[in-house]
Structure 1
């Protein structure tokens, strides 16, 4: 659904994904159907995991959080979260995933903004 939103609103907004600490590493809280990614022990491992993600047709830049998890700390982005930033101001913040992760709300906001 998020890929579709990125496609539908490419002329309205710039999108980025920030890859943070792995939510379900193979050597931690494993979930079925996840990629085979262990907990990152160094930045090179985190970069390699983000590269694997980017290979799955993510239609935007994939940025990578630092090993001190600065993005996770600043944005409460674990395991996932959606934000809309307009002119440097956060105008939308979803609840934390998985239950607060509501891409439909992002679609609704972008439709109102662009319409």
Structure 2
């Protein structure tokens, strides 16, 4: 959520050259786990219904693109090494840009530079 506005600006600026998708994965900083002050109040997901409910909080922030939810086996997060967050660009089914793992290496400006090259 910290850099959601930067992500939304990417969607606005590059929707003519890219389709955007958010995959909501396991909650990295759950209230009943390792949380930060002023964090969103979300407990660790015990069921798919919990995860779907938590994804609604993100949808209320209007990410400007579709949001899907990872399965409870965390297959998408595991495949892409995305915990807690990560940016990717795919072209013809292949990863052409892989950003660093968040929160410290989550860098929407780096993805912006990549997208500007292909625009």
State whether TM-score is above 0.5: yes
SS of alignment partner, residue 106 of structure 1: helix
The gaps in structure 2 that reach 5 residues or longer are 1-5
Deviation at 1:90, TM superposition (A): 0.3
Aligned CA RMSD, in angstroms, stands at 0.7
Aligned with 1:105 (options 95, 102, 110) = 110
Matched, 1:77 2:97: no
Residue 12 of structure 2 corresponds to: 7
Q: Distance in 2 between matches of 1:57 and 1:7?
A: 12
Q: Distance in 2 between matches of 1:53 and 1:38?
A: 15
TM normalised by structure 1 equals 0.96
The gaps in structure 1 that reach 5 residues or longer are none
Q: Distance in 2 between matches of 1:36 and 1:98?
A: 18
Q: How many residues align?
A: 114
* 1:67-95 C-alpha deviation (Å, 9 max, x unpaired): 01001110101000000001111000011
Matched, 1:95 2:100: yes
Deviation at 1:33, TM superposition (A): 2.1
Aligned with 1:17 (options 11, 14, 22) = 22
Q: Distance in 2 between matches of 1:64 and 1:92?
A: 22
Q: Distance in 1 between matches of 2:116 and 2:37?
A: 34
Q: Distance in 2 between matches of 1:94 and 1:83?
A: 6
SS of alignment partner, residue 28 of structure 1: coil
- Following TM superposition, the consecutive aligned residue runs of length 4 or more in structure 1 with deviations greater than 2 angstroms are none
